[in-house]
Structure 1
Amino acid sequence: MPSPSEPAIVTVQLLRDWPLPQPDGAKDSRGTALVIGGSRHTPGAVLLAGVAALRAGAGVLQLAVAESTAAALSIQMPEALVLDLPEVPGPLPGRLAELAAGASAIAIGPGLGDLDHTAAIMRYVLDAAAPDATIVLDAYALGALSREPALITGRPGRHLLTPNLEEARYLLGDDELGDDLADAARRIARRYRSVVSLFGRVADPDGRLWWEQTGGAGLGTSGSGDVRAGLVTGLLARGAEPAQAACWAAYAHAGSAQRLAPRFGRIGFLARELADEIPAVLAAV
């Protein structure tokens, strides 16, 4: 494990010394991943995250999405249970609380498009989630958190934040992050008492830092962050600890890009293609 002052570089050897849980038996032994997000205009974010969660090894996938997109997603993603959610703030279905209570890992945010609605979903789901579940916050969920830190800081449980640079600025209240993204990740982790994954830098609330250094420019493509959020959620579902899942996800995300580069170039591949490379990258470790 890294010291509080020095980052540990994420390498194959580091991951081999920190192996993922290898559950045996039925699908339930690999946990349940619940992804909550999507809107009428951005249904693909949940699809990308859901595929990545399954490719990372989650045994059961559940999606909670905008009602206007639920039918299409249930056809596009036949492996998943799909629950439809109201698209405006208002009462949420009791079935969502039931799914949250039974999930091993829950991702909130991919594709959501309204901060107030997102905050309401977060309160409802976090109240219902099992104490040992890990909550992944992405996209608009991070915007809601930046406005209302008490959404998680006053609650028990484990949380993992996956900001991009703009979201990191919101979380810190900084106009400029500067060049030291490791320091930014550490500050976010301390402020929100959560594990943070920021452009290959993974920080925990105790100040420890890991750095995956092989990610390239190709990862800066539409939907890539949704894949990363789903990937880490799938690893959490199968039993990984938050910092461990974030490090493995950072490595697999970058490794998937490296596998695609010979076919499509450094910046020519699509986020949906990243997800399909995840199993091979994980297996090669």
Structure 2
Amino acid sequence: METVSEWTSFGGDLSVHDHESETLGCTMRFAVFDPPQTSDDPVPVLYYLSGLTCTWANVMEKGGLQRKAAELGVMIVAPDTSPRGKSVADDEAYDLGQGAGFYLTATQDPWASHYRMDQYVMEELPSIIRSNFAADMKRQSIFGHSMGGHGALTLALRNPGHFRSVSAFSPIVAPSQVPWGQKAFKAYLGDDEAAWKAHDACELVKTTQLDTTILIDQGEDDQFLDEQLKPRLFEEACREAGQSLAIRMRPGYDHSYYFISTFMDDHIMHHAKALYG
């Protein structure tokens, strides 16, 4: 692991690192906000998964998370959204290929050689955090935005009991039913729509419920709300399955980090309560 950049922020340490990923077969970059409390004891870990086209930088530079994470003693880890590099398959469109890993393991060529973001987030990245930071790996939670919200929900539902809490900003909750998800799933997983259901939160919650309340914030003026996000589908699926869900529709807010930063403190407090409970 190579440290690329490092800054002091709210008494904690914000650092960016590169490493050679065996899971993805390329160089990966991630960021960690290490709160000041780690000078005394290991602290719990909260993973943030970003959306289409994003990197670690979007949330660390625009999300406004450091103050509350420092106050509550929560380490935040922000990986990239996909494998990257000259040898990694890509597409000219913003919503497929590099920057658009969709937090799954691809089974179709040319994507299958590198696109294993679910394995990376669940296995390799935590191993690196465990070995290099004062992290209490018995206390982990996850959240994300848009495609990353999809990732947070599906990884939590596919691995019940692994995360103490889960939340999302503007998540893609029904990728099998919307253009972003259908395009990615067909490319990465093929035409068998049964395989898509294993990465669709609305489908997963039908058979797996979490022993925690899922928190979702969604802007009512989000430009992707009606075509790509459809949060009411997940609300209905949770209600039918008996999954506890707190979904908050926010008038006037869109899909941007102006929206995310407004409610970031709420999400960190939601996770801190579970992580320190």
Range of TM-score over shorter length: 0.3 to 0.5
Higher strand share: 2
TM-score (normalised: structure 2): 0.39
